[in-house]
Amino acid sequence: MLASSVTMVLSQRLGRRLCQSCKKVEKHDSKVLLSMGFSEDEIENLVTFGPNGCPECNGLGYRGRVGFFELMEVTDEVAKAISAEVPEDQLRKIAVQEGMTPLRNAALQKVREGITSVEETLRRTVAHKESLPAYLVNPDREHYEDGDGIIREGNTDIDFFKLIRGSLTVIKNGKKIAELTEPGEYFGEMAAITGEQRSASIIAQGRCTVKRYPGDKINEIVAKYPDITSQLFKTMTMRLYKSNKIILKLAGGAGRSQRPPSPPNTRR
Ligand SMILES: [Zn+2]
């Protein structure tokens, strides 16, 4: 009933407004700024202000209040999520996708505008980060030189990888069977899923950079992180498609009517 009768939900916090007569530029560690939600791109040129104190603000550095607002519109998607009684963090995620500006972001905007301080923002609002675990946010980056092996056929390690830069050769029984050239393409995920030994070797073709993901987290990733999972599925589907094509060719059945599938959605 709530989902069908409410159209908007407004949350509000009040923070102290910097005294505009005496506020002064205040430097903050970039780690603090990043962790509170500013983006890496903007912090270089970001100017933040802090309180100083003058007769106009009775030496407090703050004068008056400023509101931080979070307006959640109950769109169809949000209503569905409420009806389905999804957990709060899930509902929040959907609401943000549907255009909601979270309180913290509203406060960050007031910091950008010099209306309030970093300190006030941290005191009055909390960051609801997409709580991605460290192994997804900052996976190990590895650099390889031409001919370096990343995966060895027959080995039983289970980490999987994403190609960032360069290209890779896939070798089975000493024969080159494929190339990986698409940045963003995953590889090595089969071992993580099946636990079987590596079915082919993957060798750097020239210099390349990859990200390494822990294979023992694959179930957690599938359960919790649909974006990454769908990328993995796309990778595997394309690979299956290619194998099928080869099988067809080998079977002499590559007829004229063969149509390639529509290209995969390569949106991140
Ligand atoms: Zn003042």
Question: H or E element: which one contains 127?
Answer: none
Instruction: Delineate the domains of the chain, giving CATH numbers in brackets.
Output: 2-131 (3.40.50.300), 139-252 (2.60.120.10)
Residue 257, token pair as written in the block: 């009517």
If you measure from the C-alpha of residue 115 to the centroid of ligand 1, how many angstroms do you get, rounded to a whole number? 13
Question: For 85-96, how does the pLDDT look when each residue is reduced to its tens digit (9 = 90+)?
Answer: 887 888 888 898
C-alpha gyration radius of the chain: 26
Phi, psi (5° rounding) for residue 90? -70, -45
| Angstrom distance (rounded) from CA 100 to CA 110 | 16
**How confident is the model over 57-83, as a mean pLDDT?**
93
253 has a pLDDT exceeding 80: no
Q: Decide: 184 and 163 in contact? Cβ < 8 Å.
A: yes
239 has pLDDT over 90: no
Which 8-state DSSP code applies to residue 57? G
Distance from Cα 67 to the centre of ligand 1, integer Å: 19
Alpha carbon of 49 to ligand 1 centroid (Å): 12
Average pLDDT, the chain: 87
Tell how far the Cα of 125 is from the centroid of ligand 1, in angstroms.
24
DSSP string, 139-160: PEEEEE-TT-EEE-TT-----E
Residue 44 CA to ligand 1 centre (angstroms): 27
Please tell me the distance between residue 249's alpha carbon and the centre of ligand 1 in angstroms.
79
Residues with Cβ < 8 Å from 38, sequence gap 6 or more? Answer: 46, 108
Helix (H) or strand (E) segment spanning residue 233: helix 226-250
pLDDT tens-digit profile of 109-123?
999 999 999 999 999
Other CB atoms within a 10 A radius of the CB of residue 251 amount to: 8
Ligand 1 centroid–CA 238 distance in Å is 63
Spatial separation of the C-alpha atoms in residues 185 and 210, rounded to whole Å: 10
> Which pTM value belongs to this model?
0.51
What confidence score (pLDDT) does residue 86 get? 82
Read off φ and ψ for residue 141, nearest 5 degrees. -95, 135
pLDDT of residue 209: 94
Percent composition of the chain: helix, strand, coil (DSSP 3-state, to 5): 35, 25, 40
State how beta strands 140-144 and 201-213 pair: antiparallel
pLDDT (tens digit per residue) in 209-231: 999 999 998 888 888 777 788 88
